Chains A and B, each alone.
Chain A
Amino acid sequence: MTTIPAAASSTATLDKPGGGMTVGLFITCINDVMFPQTGEAVVKILERLGCTVEFPRAQTCCGQMTTNSGYFEESIPAVKQYVKAFSGYDYVVAPSGSCTGAVREQHPMLARETGDTGFIREVDEVSQHLYDLPEFLIDILGVEDVGAYFPHRVTYHPSCHGRRFLKLGDKPARLLSHVKGMTLVPLPMEEQCCGFGGTFCIKNSDMSAAMAADKARHIRETDAEYVIAGDNSCLMNIGGVLSRQNSGVKAIHLAEILANTEED
């Protein structure tokens, strides 16, 4: 894992810790197509904190669908495309622990499959500048209170890749603790996977559904109105089950909570 570069420039002010810093947004394919509102929320937060957000159009996807299915050769084009889009950025932010983990951990592994030393060096460099949103806010910008307001009862599911591969720890909880008007209820068995697992949910659909059903049950036990997570893939799984059960509990991305202010 990368070492975290020195934090925000000295020109940063308290309410604009971004200080004009340029940030590349890696929207990720699933958010681009299915959850554009999450991307809009990230842009809103980063701009509110004084960052200049750029969206390199060459970007596509982290390649997890092929990589995690064992099709490494088929993933190389996605790695190349990522390098093409984000080469030269000091800071790239993605609203996904899973895709961030894939870029930082899997891209260097995949590059080695090519045996191309120049490409390996390039990937080793470019991949390590990507941050999941909570990492960027806390480790780089040094903010926990992003001025958010969300007057609801919520619970938080720490999705596996953020929790275990990025080791986010209490960073999402610290960000959520400053959201005004919100009641955060602990989620029983929060450490257990929701069962999404990328192609796992298709290849092992019955097992995946059994895991998702248990996750949904624990969420309902909290009487929360919303379940929050840092990955829309997990939320699509969890939310899909909650919707089928007519539970009334809505799934929402962490970025959308943090973007919401009293003015909205």
Chain B
Amino acid sequence: MGTELRRITEGNHGVARLTPAPDNGGTFLGMPKFQKAVKTELELNVQRKNMRNATTTIRNKRALRVSESPDWEEVREAATEIKNRVSRHLDYYLEQAEKSLTAHGVHVHWARDGQEANQIVADIAKAKGVDEVVKIKSITTQETDLNEYLEEQGIAAWETDLAELIVQLGHDRPSHIVVPAIHRNRAEVREIFLREMKNYGRPAPEDVSENPPELANAARLHLREKFLRAKMAVSGANFVLADTGSLVIVESEGNGRMCLTLPDTLVSMVGIEKILPSFDDLEVFLKLLPRSATGERMNPYNSVWSGVTDGDGPQEQHVIFMDNGRTDVLADAVGREVLRCIRCASCINTCPVYERAGGHAYGSVYPGPIGISLTPQLRGVEDPVDRAMPYACSLCGACNEVCPVKIPFTDIILHLRHRVAQAEKADRFGADKEGTVERNLMKTAGWVLGDAKHFEKVQIATRGAGKVLKRPLGPIPVPIAERWLKYRDVEVPPTDTFRTWWKKNRQEGE
């Protein structure tokens, strides 16, 4: 093939790069917080329509698969218990996994954070003398922003999952953890392929249509030269089996297996919570995951890789076990339940807020209910982006119902709101104005609701307002009230409260 890697400036903010630059380069922190970011997202009518269609389809497919599984609740319960056991004895299972992996010829590395994990990947690449890697879809490597790290080190990371390819070529960020290009439609995909593929490898055929098989074929041809060329592959893992030392990856396109066919070296970056005690546990999780994630009874490709085999597959394998905040999550008695997550995204697909916001507004690679429950635990609640996250939720509870490992999202979200409120109280200075107003409001609410006499005094005011104001109230520019009245009318309070009605009509009966 002999293709030379080229540095491209076009579309990359004037910087010569090996791979397309995401428009929001670098870290998620520093992006606008959810409440602000969502204003822009809500205006994107095409995206809203794409999201509505896609989430409705996946929701319905999942519901169908669940309805044909009479033991669904028992399997959920089993998965919950298995994952709880892993959390309880995480140290034991991690060491067991390390022993099993090592016995199968796999190099095991430990990374305290994303920076360490990224560096281990780069060091391996440099030691092998490669300047490019092919990647199997991995959210963990997006959590650490591996691609951008490798780009800085002069190493090109090529996404080979179709949706990830669309995202990467589109200078975009994933907006979903299972279907990263959920916000795009076929016309947009065609336009991205035509514009970008030629800069980073084999161009898309000039006459490619919006027909999905044609688009998939363009991707196949574009990726083929990368598969054939690459000497190193990077993956995550859905599960790591402690007893057999196996990595389990489920996928839909076969690109994962392509990444194993030719590269000599495979590096897998895995969160420490991805452990399952034994091979037998797969009967539970391989039933739950595909049905919950894509509404399929089984994933098209289920791979179990158990170490190095002579003359077959990668001859050098590395597994990086990464903490990156997970032990902090484990230390939190309420928050730790989120570590059961198997990244199926059923909570995301059912979330009415996510459906309308899309994944970009959250400020994390993990959007939706899992994102707002996990990210502030991994990163802490110092940054305004992380502080806003637990509030990106109406507490409707739809996510609790569909989670295959029964994560009580709304309990954890409330718990995190408490953490944020505590942090806001601790910051006497530097918090935004809204925080100060809110703190005073909540303090007042505590006073009003803590004594019926106080409560009744406030009612004199609402009854007074009822006498003075005309009804209903339309849009009026009063701070805070304006946020409600911009979209909705409101009846002014009636001149009699229930309390006064009771006094007049029933009091004598007591």
Contacts and interface: CB of A to CB of B under 8 A. Distances in A.
Interface stretch (A4-12, A33-41, A170-178, A252-260): A33-41
Contacts of B446: 66, 71, 73-78
A200 B352 CA distance: 13
A205 B394 contact: no
Contact of B395 (A36, A68, A81, A237): A68
Task: Label chain A's interface by main secondary structure.
Answer: helix
Contacts of B42: 206-207, 210
B449 A63 contact: yes
B390 A81 contact: no
B510 A68 contact: no
B429 interface: no
A36 B445 contact: no
A39 B498 contact: yes
Interface string A72-106: 11111110110001000000000000000000001
A134 to B, nearest CB: 18
B398 A212 contact: no
B486 A209 contact: yes
Contacts of B92: none
A203 B487 contact: no
Interface string A50-79: 000111011111010111111111111110
B335 to A, nearest CB: 14
Interface stretch (B133-141, B156-164, B227-235, B418-426): B418-426
A69 B443 CA distance: 12
A205 B397 CA distance: 19
A63 B449 CA distance: 7
Contact of A200 (B394, B488, B491): B394
B501 A40 contact: yes
A138 to B, nearest CB: 21
A130 interface: no
A53 to B, nearest CB: 8
B398 A160 contact: yes
A136 B317 CA distance: 62
Nearest to A73: B446
B506 interface: yes
Nearest to B495: A36
A81 B451 contact: yes
Contacts of B478: none
B496 A36 contact: yes
Interface in B417-471: 417-422, 438-439, 442-443, 445-452, 455, 459, 462
Given A77-B450, A77-B451, A205 B486 contact: yes
Interface stretch (B32-40, B82-90, B97-105): B32-40
B51 to A, nearest CB: 12
Most buried by B among A39, A58, A80, A206: A206
Contact of B501 (A39, A109, A165, A213): A39
B305 to A, nearest CB: 40
Interface in A162-220: 164-165, 191-193, 195-198, 200-214
Interface stretch (A13-21, A115-123, A223-231, A240-248): A240-248
23 contacts: A27-B499, A32-B498, A33-B493, A39-B502, A53-B506, A55-B499, A55-B510, A60-B455, A65-B442, A65-B445, A66-B442, A67-B414, A69-B417, A70-B418, A71-B418, A71-B446, A76-B446, A77-B450, A160-B394, A161-B395, A164-B400, A193-B394, A203-B35
Interface of A: 27, 29, 31-36, 39-40, 43, 53-55, 57-61, 63, 65-78, 80-81, 85, 106, 109, 160-161, 164-165, 191-193, 195-198, 200-214, 236-237, 240-241, 243-244
Given A197-B394, A202-B480, 12 more contacts: A32-B498, A60-B448, A60-B449, A65-B442, A66-B445, A81-B449, A85-B452, A160-B398, A164-B398, A212-B487, A212-B488, A240-B489
The 3 A-B residue pairs whose C-beta atoms are closest, nearest first, are: A77-B450, A240-B488, A197-B394
